[in-house]
Amino acid sequence: MQTEGFVLVDIGAANAAFQLQAITLSPLQSDEVLIESEAFGLNYADVMARLGLYREAPPRPCVLGYELVGRITEVGSAVDPALVGQRVLAFARFGAYARHAKTTSNAIVPIAEMPAQEALPFATQGVTAHYMAEVLSPIQAHDHVLVHAAAGGVGSFLVQLAKRKGATVYGKIGSDAKKAYLQSLGVDVLINYKKEAYSKTLATHLGDQKLSASFNAVGGKSAKTDLKLLGPGGRLFLFGGADLATRKGLFGKLSFLWEMGFVLPIGLMMQSKNILGVNMLKIAEAHPHVIQNSMSEMLRLYHNGELQLPQISTYPFSQFTEAHEALGQGQTTGKVVVSWI
């Protein structure tokens, strides 16, 4: 089938890296569905791929994108034909930056007439937050939880999930402009890492306590810092490496890895600390039902009034490259959505 999409043809600035091109989709596999897209979401992993820093990205030229909202127009031979015409939120393992995209039938959730910009945060970002905080190692009441990039899409959901459990939440931000939003979500302590050393501020607020969990999408030296701040039973969730995008050349990449430190398993055992690596693409490949279940549960919480949407920035497809650059430069809060209509 012929469609069009934003194809990653090079690395670097968005206006040079992407081209809107005609693309040919391969035939549907038996368990797949074809979706005519209304809108798709951007995620920081897409920025990393654009900069050549995301090893999971397909070889160029390729179509990035993990999530979309649209109507199913065709189904594979093993899929219920009654799904044709249904409007869904879908998680895709790349390919979502196109007017038509494919995914497996167990990675979709019907959303009726829910606006696309409301639904999209619950795919990659909502699923990532739910999987870490509710499935992999659930947050407990009275936990002390640090959330890096707390105003981002994943971060703002993590804040809310932690507060639902009765945890004390420390939110790390890079701009005071994000304080009011996070205070409205219930963050107990806000730390602007550009103005203060977050580890010292945390230590002051924790007193004799230690961190129960850190949700870290930054990596670099912050991972080593967080590990030191954990108490017995503490969990360091590593689900991104945003700091790598600020490093230049081979030396920069090596310094990023060096600063993360080297951990001996026996040391973790003796201190009863845990490092949990999270790559939702790998989870989607091995356990796609987890994606569907987490999307459904996050949508249920939202419709029950138990979760707020993150802040949403919606761009027309004609401003796709501007949206990509804004996300990469930290100029957005919450979710970035690109609309085809």
Q: What is the pLDDT of residues 2-57, one digit of tens each?
A: 999 999 999 999 999 999 999 999 999 999 999 999 999 999 899 999 999 888 89
The model's pTM is 0.90
Burial class (CB in 10 A: 0-12, 13-18, 19+), 263: middle
In the chain, CATH 3.90.180.10 sits at 2-122+289-339
Burial class (CB in 10 A: 0-12, 13-18, 19+), 325: middle
Cβ distance 158 to 149 under 8 Å? no
Q: CA dihedral defined by 18, 320, 113, 334, rounded to 10 degrees?
A: 110
Cβ distance 186 to 177 under 8 Å? no
In the chain, CATH 3.40.50.720 sits at 132-278
Of 85, 95, 87, which Cα lies nearest the Cα of 28? Answer: 95
**Homologous superfamily in CATH for domain 132-278:** NAD(P)-binding Rossmann-like Domain (3.40.50.720)
Please report which helix (H) or strand (E) contains residue 53, including its range: none
Query: What burial letters (b/e) apply to 271-283, b meaning 16+ CB within 10 Å?
Result: eebbbeebebbeb
pLDDT at 242: 64
CATH fold of the domain at 2-122+289-339: Quinone Oxidoreductase; Chain A, domain 1 (3.90.180)
Q: What is the pLDDT of residues 126-140, one digit of tens each?
A: 999 999 999 999 999
Please report which helix (H) or strand (E) contains residue 300, including its range: helix 288-303
Cβ distance 46 to 37 under 8 Å? no
